[in-house]
Chains A and B, each alone.
Chain A
């Protein structure tokens, strides 16, 4: 398996509280992504990063922010969690090169907002 680790793996939090999820890679890949997975919607991109301090929004970015201060770490923050953000969150990494390559996924984080 690609060297990618998510933490925490499970979290229950209350509405209105801030939450930060961490993605750590040991592959030195350029691209890092945060997706959320919900039934009937597949994997939807929240934010992605194409380098240190370089990030961009995805399809469902409202209510989320990200930061990448080091190549190996990509943080996803929910500033004020809402019940609609209950989901399974996956981080993914991908290398850069002349040919497009596959993305490798972390184990996922199950977040429940009560």
Chain B
């Protein structure tokens, strides 16, 4: 089955700097890659996703890149703000219909004022 690795496990950046979180996956059949943000005590919520037919996607200060050949994808957050502090999870789809998601172990991002 699919295996998703995520690095780093913790990341501290100064407010205004950029943050990058990287994930790798093992199943070349995976074709959907969502990123979830989980604030302390809250539920995970989707912040951005990318499909395998696209190499990059942007939404304001966040962007995701996908390299299908290398089987890795990354989350980029620019101009970080304190409210970006959270745990971020990457995921890859699996199953005959991509119905399941395999999640990475998470990255705890701290944005220091």
Contact = CB atoms under 8 A, between A and B. Distances in A.
Interface in B33-73: 34, 42-46, 49, 51
A62 to B, nearest CB: 16
Interface stretch (A14-22, A40-48, A73-81): A40-48
A58 B43 CA distance: 20
Given A43-B44, A105-B43, A105-B44, A48 B99 contact: yes
Of the four ranges (under 10, 10 to 19, 20 to 34, 35 or more), the interface on chain A belongs to 20 to 34
Contacts of A114: none
Interface string B90-105: 0001000111111111
A60 interface: no
Contacts of B93: 100
A50 B89 CA distance: 24
A8 B53 CA distance: 41
Given A90-B43, A94-B99, A100 B105 contact: no
Given A96-B97, A96-B99, A100-B32, 4 more contacts: A35-B103, A43-B44, A103-B46, A108-B43
24 contacts: A31-B99, A33-B100, A35-B103, A42-B6, A42-B106, A43-B89, A43-B103, A45-B102, A50-B99, A59-B102, A96-B99, A99-B51, A100-B31, A100-B32, A100-B93, A102-B34, A102-B46, A102-B49, A103-B34, A103-B101, A105-B44, A105-B45, A107-B42, A107-B43
